[in-house]
Amino acid sequence: MAAAFALSGCGREGAPAPATPKDGDTPAAAAAPNPASAATPAPAQPPATTAESTSAAVEPLSCTDQIGADAAAARVATCRAVSPATHPPCNAANSCAMIDDEIARSCALLGRDAATTAGCGPAADSAQAAADVVRRYYAAIDARDYATAWQQWGEDGRPGQSYAAFKAGFAQTRAVKATIGTLGASDGAAGSVYQPVPVTVEATLADGTRQRFRGDYILRRVNGVDGASAAQLRWRIDSAKLEEVPAQ
């Protein structure tokens, strides 16, 4: 199911999918099969795995699970310090990616003040901020926080694919790591800015198979046009093209 893992979010076609992903969602209109995964058998439980251990294996990881209690507490404190939300997702029981996404969202709302605000990273319109979206995307997948990964495509998720279909594409993925390459120049067109983000992705499947993919994500944001919302001014994944390469 590896090809489906890395390619399940690739491309960009069709109408937007439901905006609020939930684990119980039923695909409203599943995307067309990806050519790289069309011949892959439907996901099956790995051999010698009990129902109990399988359930535990796919539970989302908390930020505490990922980086330890002290580091998670520090990240939560930063999130609470910058978030304007009444009930922000600044909780160590959530994935680090979810917390980081709230920090990035909140810092983007601060505009120029973010540069002097403790805890805020690179400028929201920078190439590095675009790369951080791809990092959060794969960090969320690694933590099995598919809702946060889904929303890196935009508030309504990945166009042309339901959340249920998106999540199913990672059913056999147990670990994933993304390494960002050298960032090039952005390109503007029709009120939007596009930033290529080269990436190498290493994945481990439920049966222990290791796979490697390389390619580019294209991130998009609105170029400060009048009336643009804060969400439109943030980088979001627009498209992706990855190819499998020999694992190391």
| 213 pLDDT above the threshold of 90 | yes
Name which residue leads in pLDDT, 247 or 100: 100
Please state the pTM of the whole predicted model. Answer: 0.79
Long-range pairs of 194-199 with CB within 8 A, sequence gap ≥ 24? 194/218, 194/219, 194/220, 194/238, 195/127, 195/130, 195/219, 195/220, 195/235, 197/130, 197/131, 197/133, 197/134, 199/134, 199/242
- Domain locations in the chain? 2-13+60-245
| Chain segment 166-208, per-residue pLDDT in tens | 999 999 999 999 999 999 999 988 889 999 999 999 999 999 9
Q: What is the mean predicted confidence (pLDDT) over 146-168?
A: 94
Q: What mean pLDDT, rounded, does the chain reach?
A: 82
Give residue 54's pLDDT band: very low, low, confident or very high (50, 70, 90): very low
CATH no. of 2-13+60-245? 3.10.450.50
